[in-house]
Structure 1
Amino acid sequence: MAPTSWQPGWGVSGVDVSAYQAAYANGQWSDTTDWGGQWNQGVRFAYVKATEGNYYTNQAFSQQYSNAQSVGMIRGAYHFAIPNWSSGANQAQYFVQNGGGWSADGITMPPVLDIEYNPYAGQTINGVYMGDTCYSMAGSAMVNWIADFSNTMLSLTGRRPMIYTTADWWSSCTGNYGGFGNNPLWVAAYNQSGPPMPAGWPAFSVWQYSSSGPFVGDSNVWNGDYPSLQRFATYGDTNPSAAIGSVAPGANIGSQTTGVVGGLVNSGAYQNFQGGAIIWSPASGARVSPNGPIRSAWQATGFEGGLLGYPTTGVTGGLVNGGSYQNFQGGAIISSPASGTRVSPNGPIRSAWQTTGFEGGPLGYPTSGVTSGLVNGGSFQNFQGGAIISSPASGTQVSLNGPIRTAWQATGFEGGPLGYPTTGVVTLSDGGQYQNFQNGAIIWNKATGAQVSLSGPIRTAWQASGFQTGPLGYPTTGVVTLSDGGQYQNFQNGAIIWNKATGAQVSLNGPIRTAWQASGFQTGPLGYPTSGVTSGLVNGGSFQNFQGGAIISSPASGTQVSLNGPIRTAWQATGFEGGPLGYPTTGVVTLSDGGQYQNFQNGAIIWNKATGAQVSLNGPIRTAWQASGFQTGPLGYPTTGVVTLSDGGQYQNFQNGAIIWNKATGAQVSLN
Structure 2
Amino acid sequence: MGSTLPADTLRKLKNAQGPFGAHLGQGLKRLKEGLSATVSAPTGTGSPVSNPVLMTRATAVLPAVSAAPTAWMAPGVQGLDVSGWQGSVDWQSQWNQGARFAYTKATEGTTYISSAFGSQYTGAADVGMIRGAYHFALPSESSGADQARFFVSNGGGWSPDGVTLPPLLDIEYNPYSSLGDTCYNMSAGQMVGWIQDFVNTMVALTGRLPAIYTTTDWWSQCTGNSAAFGADPLHIASYSTSVGPMPNGWNSYNVWQYSSAGPFVGDSDAFNGSSSDLASFATNDVPAAAAEQIQAAVTADPGLGSATSPIICGLAGGGCYQIFEGGVIHWSPATGAHITDGAINTAWAAQGWENGGLGYPTSNEIGGLKDGGVYQNFQGGVIHWSPATGAHITDGAINTAWAAQGWENGGLGYPTSNEIGGLKDGGVYQNFQGGVIHWSPATGAHITRAAIDAAWAGLDWENGFLGYPTSNEIGGLKDGGVYQSFQGGVIYWSAGSGAHSNAGAIRTAYASQGWENGLLGYPTTNEYASGGGVAQDYQGGRITWSGTAGTAIAYK
Deviations 1:349-386 (A, max 9, x none): 698999999999643699xxxxxxxxxxx977999xx7
* 1:608 equivalent in alignment to 2:494: yes
1:652/1:244 CA distance change after superposition, 3 Å: closer
Deviations 1:461-503 (A, max 9, x none): 1111111111111111111113332111111111111111111
Report how far residue 527 of structure 1 moved. Answer: 1.2
Q: Secondary structure at the match of 1:480?
A: coil
CA contact (8 A) 2:392 2:415 kept: yes
* 1:442 equivalent in alignment to 2:247: no
1:314/1:630 CA distance change after superposition, 3 Å: same
TM-score, normalised via structure 2 length = 0.59
Q: 1-side partners of 2:160 and 2:296: how far apart?
A: 27
Q: Secondary structure at the match of 1:640?
A: coil
Q: Which position in structure 1 is the counterpart of 2:432?
A: 546
1:433/1:419 CA distance change after superposition, 3 Å: same
- Alignment map for 1:169-208 (pairs within 5 Å): none
CA contact (8 A) 1:404 1:444 kept: yes
Q: Secondary structure at the match of 1:539?
A: helix
Q: Which position in structure 2 is the counterpart of 1:318?
A: 91
Q: 1-side partners of 2:161 and 2:444: how far apart?
A: 60
Q: Secondary structure at the match of 1:481?
A: coil
Match of 2:473 among 583, 588, 597: 588
Q: 2-side partners of 1:548 and 1:339: how far apart?
A: 64
Deviations 1:221-256 (A, max 9, x none): xxxxxxxx75x8515988854328999xxxxxxxxx
Q: Which position in structure 1 is the counterpart of 2:537?
A: 653
Q: Which position in structure 2 is the counterpart of 1:474?
A: 360
CA contact (8 A) 1:551 1:559 kept: yes
Q: Which position in structure 2 is the counterpart of 1:287?
A: 62
Q: 2-side partners of 1:470 and 1:407: how far apart?
A: 23
Q: 2-side partners of 1:545 and 1:658: how far apart?
A: 36
Q: 2-side partners of 1:556 and 1:478: how far apart?
A: 35
1:658/1:610 CA distance change after superposition, 3 Å: same
1:358/1:566 CA distance change after superposition, 3 Å: closer
Q: 2-side partners of 1:382 and 1:635: how far apart?
A: 76
CA contact (8 A) 2:305 2:324 kept: yes
Report how far residue 401 of structure 1 moved. Answer: 8.1
CA contact (8 A) 1:449 1:476 kept: yes
* 1:535 equivalent in alignment to 2:456: no
Q: How many residues align?
A: 383
Report how far residue 628 of structure 1 moved. Answer: 0.5
Report how far residue 632 of structure 1 moved. Answer: 0.5
* 1:234 equivalent in alignment to 2:39: yes
1:610/1:429 CA distance change after superposition, 3 Å: closer
1:482/1:338 CA distance change after superposition, 3 Å: farther
CA contact (8 A) 1:558 1:585 kept: yes
519-528 or 629-638, which deviates more: 519-528
Q: Which position in structure 2 is the counterpart of 1:664?
A: 548
1:289/1:517 CA distance change after superposition, 3 Å: farther
- Alignment map for 1:48-127 (pairs within 5 Å): 103=26, 109=30, 111-112=32-33
CA contact (8 A) 1:488 1:498 kept: yes
Q: Secondary structure at the match of 2:398?
A: helix
Q: 1-side partners of 2:348 and 2:458: how far apart?
A: 35
1:662/1:326 CA distance change after superposition, 3 Å: closer
Q: Which position in structure 2 is the counterpart of 1:628?
A: 513
Deviations 1:292-321 (A, max 9, x none): xxxxxxxxxxxxxxxxxx954433341789
Match of 1:513 among 362, 387, 399: 399
Q: 1-side partners of 2:297 and 2:161: how far apart?
A: 30
Q: Secondary structure at the match of 1:651?
A: strand
CA contact (8 A) 2:437 2:446 kept: yes
1:551/1:243 CA distance change after superposition, 3 Å: same
Instruction: Give 1:651's aligned amino acid.
Output: A
Deviations 1:198-221 (A, max 9, x none): xxxxxxxxxxxxxxxxxxxxxxxx
Instruction: Give 1:546's aligned amino acid.
Output: F
Deviations 1:276-305 (A, max 9, x none): xxx52xxxxx33699xxxxxxxxxxxxxxx
Report how far residue 345 of structure 1 moved. Answer: 5.2
Q: Which position in structure 1 is the counterpart of 2:459?
A: 574
Instruction: Give 1:584's aligned amino acid.
Output: P
Match of 1:268 among 34, 56, 61: 56
CA contact (8 A) 2:42 2:55 kept: no
- Alignment map for 1:472-511 (pairs within 5 Å): 472-484=358-370, 485-508=372-395, 510-511=396-397
1:326/1:288 CA distance change after superposition, 3 Å: farther
Report how far residue 334 of structure 1 moved. Answer: 2.7
Q: 1-side partners of 2:203 and 2:463: how far apart?
A: 65
Q: 2-side partners of 1:496 and 1:571: how far apart?
A: 28
Q: 2-side partners of 1:417 and 1:532: how far apart?
A: 29
Computing the radius of gyration from Cα coordinates, the structure with the larger value is 1
Instruction: Give 1:578's aligned amino acid.
Output: N
CA contact (8 A) 1:314 1:326 kept: no
1:288/1:581 CA distance change after superposition, 3 Å: same
CA contact (8 A) 1:404 1:442 kept: no
Structure with higher RCO (Cα < 8 A, 6+ apart)? 2
* 1:560 equivalent in alignment to 2:446: yes
Q: 1-side partners of 2:494 and 2:456: how far apart?
A: 15
Q: Which position in structure 1 is the counterpart of 2:118?
A: 334
Instruction: Give 1:521's aligned amino acid.
Output: W
Q: Secondary structure at the match of 1:570?
A: helix
CA contact (8 A) 2:327 2:340 kept: yes
Q: Which position in structure 1 is the counterpart of 2:529?
A: 644
Instruction: Give 1:443's aligned amino acid.
Output: H
1:339/1:416 CA distance change after superposition, 3 Å: farther
Q: 1-side partners of 2:499 and 2:51: how far apart?
A: 107
Higher strand share: 1
* 1:243 equivalent in alignment to 2:34: no
1:327/1:554 CA distance change after superposition, 3 Å: closer
Q: Secondary structure at the match of 2:548?
A: coil
Report how far residue 507 of structure 1 moved. Answer: 1.3
Match of 1:363 among 164, 167, 182: 164
Q: Which position in structure 1 is the counterpart of 2:247?
A: none
Report how far residue 663 of structure 1 moved. Answer: 2.5
Instruction: Give 2:164's aligned amino acid.
Output: L
568-577 or 352-361, which deviates more: 352-361
CA contact (8 A) 1:407 1:452 kept: no
CA contact (8 A) 1:512 1:551 kept: yes
Q: Secondary structure at the match of 1:589?
A: coil
Q: 2-side partners of 1:480 and 1:497: how far apart?
A: 10
Q: Secondary structure at the match of 2:30?
A: coil
Q: Which position in structure 1 is the counterpart of 2:339?
A: 452
Deviations 1:551-583 (A, max 9, x none): 1111222221112x1111111111111122111
CA contact (8 A) 1:102 1:110 kept: no
Q: 1-side partners of 2:353 and 2:345: how far apart?
A: 9
Q: 1-side partners of 2:424 and 2:64: how far apart?
A: 84
Q: 1-side partners of 2:529 and 2:434: how far apart?
A: 34
CA RMSD of superposed structures (Å):
4.5
Q: 1-side partners of 2:467 and 2:476: how far apart?
A: 23
Q: Secondary structure at the match of 1:460?
A: helix
CA contact (8 A) 1:528 1:546 kept: yes
Instruction: Give 1:627's aligned amino acid.
Output: S
Q: Which position in structure 2 is the counterpart of 1:91?
A: none
Instruction: Give 1:435's aligned amino acid.
Output: Q
1:240/1:360 CA distance change after superposition, 3 Å: farther
Q: Which position in structure 1 is the counterpart of 2:243?
A: none
